[in-house]
């Protein structure tokens, strides 16, 4: 792991740095590169604009994690139910993506399951994505996902390519033929849990996505969703999907709002289904620092905003 990435991930855990960033106008300006605003209405307006410009759809997520009280988790559940109602009212091709620690995973697993089930029921037939958090939560997230997936087919799961355990997790999930979004991974993990070198993560990503492509071609299961901005990976996996007989739109690509916009537009023109992940909310600090750690060159954007 590069020194810059390590420092940014370390900084994401600093309460002092968070307090400093929240007080700085330049930080709020810089964050706007990656999110249209803190309010849900800004995310919905951005979704409508992107769809009008040809994007296949969007995925909304309210920022925040590791909630400590049942009342907070209940509020998040009610918020997402309202989000789903507002998506339906506007007839937007928009999905939601949730972290299970937002729904009480830390203190009541059964309540977390119940909350996720309520979101899946309200969203049907639309998809509800379950985000993967740091490796402490991987096993528990898989358990909750399996429990909900047994009753609701419209839940999808994020898997992180840099975790060494992910190929085994994928093997256990394949009989369910679920929707899977593959990302590289953005948390600080010990070397026994995750690959430290980018080339190892890239190789793992390619292998995992290729396995899902083969499964989709053989069984009719959903093709993998490619959650990455890596153009070379996307091109290679699109080539493998075509060779397996899948249509060009089968492997949906998910990219973050404000990142590689020209690539998003180019892929859309080429017939690739692109969804844009839009985050919103006041709890942006940790998320923002992890975005910088994924591409430390973005720090220069922050510095330009500061001066």
Which residues does the annotation mark as catalytic?
131, 181
CA 167 – CA 148 distance, rounded (Å): 22
CA 188 – CA 194 distance, rounded (Å): 9
Token reading at 253: 């690509």
Nearest CA to 266 out of 242, 295, 240, 231 is that of: 231
Q: Which residues pair with 277 in a beta bridge?
A: 59, 256
Instruction: Give the burial class of 31: count Cβ atoms within 10 A of its Cβ; 0-12 exposed, 13-18 middle, 19 or more buried.
Output: buried
Token reading at 20: 């400093």
Query: CA dihedral defined by 28, 32, 37, 38, rounded to 10 degrees?
Result: -40
Contact predicate 212/223, CB 8 Å: yes
Contact predicate 8/249, CB 8 Å: no
Q: How many CA atoms lie within 13 A of 155 on its CB side?
A: 28
What are the C-alpha distances in Å from 186 to residues 8, 107, 157? 11, 24, 16
CA 249 – CA 183 distance, rounded (Å): 19
Contact predicate 30/276, CB 8 Å: no
């Amino acid at each position: 792991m590069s020194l810059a990435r390590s420092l940014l991930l370390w900084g994401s855990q600093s309460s002092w740095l968070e307090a400093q960033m929240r007080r700085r106008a330049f930080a709020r300006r810089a964050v706007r590169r990656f999110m249209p605003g803190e309010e849900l209405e800004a995310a919905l307006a951005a979704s409508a604009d992107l769809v009008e410009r040809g994007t296949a759809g969007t995925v909304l997520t309210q920022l925040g994690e590791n909630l400590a009280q049942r009342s907070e988790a209940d509020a998040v559940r009610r918020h997402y139910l309202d989000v789903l109602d507002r998506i339906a009212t506007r007839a937007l091709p928009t999905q939601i993506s949730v972290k299970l620690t937002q729904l009480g995973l830390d203190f009541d697993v059964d309540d977390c399951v119940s909350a996720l089930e309520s979101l899946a029921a309200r969203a049907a037939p639309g998809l509800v994505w379950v985000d993967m958090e740091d490796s402490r939560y991987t096993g528990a997230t898989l358990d909750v996902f399996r429990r909900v997936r047994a009753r609701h087919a419209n839940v999808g799961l994020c898997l992180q390519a840099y975790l060494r355990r992910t190929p085994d997790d994928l093997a256990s999930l394949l009989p369910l033929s679920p929707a899977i979004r593959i990302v590289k991974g953005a948390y600080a993990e010990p070397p026994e849990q995750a690959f430290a070198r980018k080339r190892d993560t890239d190789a793992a990503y390619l292998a995992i996505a290729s396995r899902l492509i083969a499964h989709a071609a053989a069984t009719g299961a959903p093709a993998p969703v490619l959650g990455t901005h890596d153009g070379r990976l996307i091109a290679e996996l699109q080539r493998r999907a075509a060779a397996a007989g899948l249509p060009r739109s089968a492997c949906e690509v998910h990219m973050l709002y404000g990142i590689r916009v020209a690539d998003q537009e180019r892929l859309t023109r080429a017939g690739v289904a692109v969804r844009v992940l839009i985050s919103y909310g006041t709890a942006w600090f940790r998320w923002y620092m992890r975005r910088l750690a994924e591409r430390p060159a973005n720090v220069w954007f922050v510095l330009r905003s500061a001066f």
